[in-house]
Each structure stands twice: as C-alpha cells, then as structure tokens.
A and B are shown apart, each in its own frame.
Chain A
C-alpha cells in the first residue's frame, strides 16, 4: 500500500482495499504468525472525543501484533483543555510513538494533522467527515458474506452526518455495486458525497422508503438516526419509526440478505433480528481487530 497516512476512503484504490482485506484474512487465518511482529513498537492514541470501542479495537490490534499503545487520555485531563492547538499536539506526540490514531470532532482534522507529522497517521473519525478504517472492516465483512460481484447494497439511516456512510459510499465506487440510499429527506447524502459518486460514475439511487428496494438487496447497512438532528421530539419519533428493522420487515427480504450496522445501535434493529441468519453486525465489529492489524502492518512496513 503506497500510503503514508489513512485519512479518507477516497484515497483508497481497489488495489489498496484488496491488499488490506487479503492481509486481514491472512491474519485471521493465522494470528500467531503476526504475534511478535511489532515488539517495541508504540501506537499513539489521540481521542479528542470519546469512542471506547474504536479505541479498544486499535489497542487490541496493536497489542496482538506484539506492540503497545500510549494514550493521551481524556480531553478533560490533557493540555488540549488549556487551548493547545491540534497541530502542536500531534507534533509533540509523534515524538512518543511510531504511528498515531486520531479521533477528533472537527471535519478535516485528520487531513490537517497528517500535514504536520512524519509518522503514519490514521483517521479514526473526523466529525461528520470520514472513518476509513470502519469502511475497511465493513468491506471485509461484505466480502465475507456477499462478495463484491454484482452487489446490491442498501445504506439506510442518517446519511447526512454519518461519516461511516460517507466513507463506505466512496469506497464502493471501486466495485461493481449498486448503491441504494434510504433516508428521510432531511438526512439525505450531503452534496459533496453525491458529487463524488456522480463523478465516479457510480450506480446510485435515493429512496425515502425501504420497501422500494428491500427485495433486491444483498446487503442492508443500517445506521442510527439521532434525535438531536431534529428540531422537536415528535418529528423525530415519526421519522425514526419508519427506519426500524424488525423480523416482520424482513419478510420481503431475500433469504441471504446480510444486515450490517457500525454499532452501537439503539432501537433501529430489533433484538429479534439478532438470532436470524441476516444479522452480521457482531461479526462485523469483531472484524475490526484483524482489519486494523492489517492496516497497521501495511502502514508500518510489515514485510520490510
């Protein structure tokens, strides 16, 4: 992989993606072969907003490669609270670690930070922008369950602010995929993402109603609709209810439909769905570790 940093799914070619997924499959097959590979290597975790799971997943990945992590800790207890710029923080911490993982509430933060450091930097979510490592584990899960040949995928929920959706949509333009976006009108894909999909010549359709497309889908990727996006609670309830998946919803779905969700969920997928063959979200979450091990391995120069 010819990348210094992992900032956006837009930078990843099909070749880059397949290299990560192949390496992740190799790691999942034989984790022991990678267990000591990064002994003495430190990964710096800079989480400017809480995300216990993403952080744990990176931490687990680094430790399973034999390395260790140094953690900035919570924002409240760090110098960030005293007004230090992000540019200064990353320049200091790059002296402590061999690679950095950044989660930050501002869009474009990872891109900017990457311009200030020489060690590899991984974007673990920048505001409503991008979340490329989530996308790679999503793609790994899609490849395991449905494959990329003639793929028909529905992406549903908050498409406007959902960074996992933006990253996934970009990445899927590399494959033979029909993308169906299902959301309330007020949460449709942002202009910039629609622009990129159009430029890439992707096969894209937008819907407000899942019923229109459910029967033809191989994969349904569900995201959470957050209450704070709506001016009042009644309006939220009205909308959110239409985008919930229950066992009855799935009557119209294909038997081999794969349901995914970046988690955590609230009530957009009923617990009754968990026991069906459709449910793939826990498997998807577990895939985070081998996929992030693969990303670290390729960024840190694995075979060299």
Chain B
C-alpha cells in the first residue's frame, strides 16, 4: 500500500480526482456540489507529495461519477487533474481533464449588468481562454476566483 493510499482510504464505487494543484481540493468539492450534507463518503487529501506537481490534492467521492459539465469546470481550476472512475474497487476508466472551448450554464457572469444575470431564458456561456474565461454575452474576462462563479 503506497503512502498516500494510507492517508486517503480506498473507495468501492465512485470517482477519484487526482493531481489537483495543492490547495484547490475544496474548490473542486464546490464544483461537484459536495458539502458533506448528502451523506456520501468523501475523502480529501491536501498537500500530499507528488512527483508531477510537488504537492497535490486528491479527492475521493464514494457513490458518485462526474458529469461532463462538472469535468469541464474542473479543468479550469485543476488543469492537470486526472479522473479515475472506480467500480467495485477497480479503476475502470482513467482520463485527464481537457479544457473545453466553451462552458455553458456552469458559471455565473460576475458583471451585474450582464443580460445573463437577469431573468431571461438564456444560459450563461463562457469562452475558455488560455488563462481564464470570457462571457460570450458581455465580454467580461475573468481570470481569478472562478470557483466563486459556479452556479449552485
């Protein structure tokens, strides 16, 4: 049993999100909408040693697989993350996140004069830039604190 598996217990069915930049684990939990109240078992390892990242965070969620939307936003905050789908203690799928060209309906525009923040039948839409995102309606560019814009 390796060092970090001792710190973060194995799961039977669910998702392991690995190679999250150190300190970002709680933002990742915010993206997948997990605050502990749902009853699922969640393990979080923060700042564990990593060959690739120096220090990394790791999140294991029992009984839950991520949707593509969740993975898309995850990629903005944790571009180096790998996602492992676990079924019956085995990793059945393993992939790196990929940054999409666009995220739809997952972030709220921080510009309070933007039409997407009003009561209109339209989803927010952000173009993904190299170092941030940009609202396709009002052009606002956001580079910091993306996790705070995640739609509840």
Contact = CB atoms under 8 A, between A and B. Distances in A.
Contacts of B111: 107
A129 B121 contact: no
B149 to A, nearest CB: 16
Interface in A59-111: 83, 85-87, 104-109, 111
Interface in B122-146: 122, 134-141
Contacts of B135: 108
B140 A192 contact: yes
Nearest to B137: A108
B21 to A, nearest CB: 24
Given A107-B137, A111-B137, A127 B120 contact: no
Contacts of B113: 105-107, 127-128
B140 A109 contact: no
A230 interface: no
Interface string A104-126: 11111101100100000000001
Given A106-B114, A111-B136, A128-B113, A85 B141 contact: no
Given A111-B136, A192-B139, A85 B119 contact: yes
Contact of B115 (A83, A108, A191, A192): A108
Given A105-B113, A107-B115, A108-B116, A87 B141 contact: no
- Between A87, A106, A115, the greatest number of chain B beta carbons within 10 A of the residue's beta carbon is seen for A106
A192 B122 contact: no
A128 to B, nearest CB: 7
A221 B138 CA distance: 24
A87 B138 contact: no
Nearest to A85: B120
Contacts of B51: none
A83 B118 CA distance: 11
A107 B138 contact: yes
Contacts of B137: 107-108, 111-112
A126 B122 CA distance: 17
Interface in A121-159: 126-129
B141 A195 contact: yes
Q: Which 6 A-B pairs have the closest CB atoms?
A: A108-B137, A107-B138, A108-B138, A192-B139, A108-B115, A106-B115
Interface of B: 111, 113-116, 118-122, 134-141
17 contacts: A85-B119, A86-B115, A87-B122, A106-B114, A107-B111, A107-B138, A107-B140, A108-B135, A111-B137, A112-B115, A112-B120, A126-B115, A127-B113, A129-B138, A191-B141, A192-B134, A195-B141
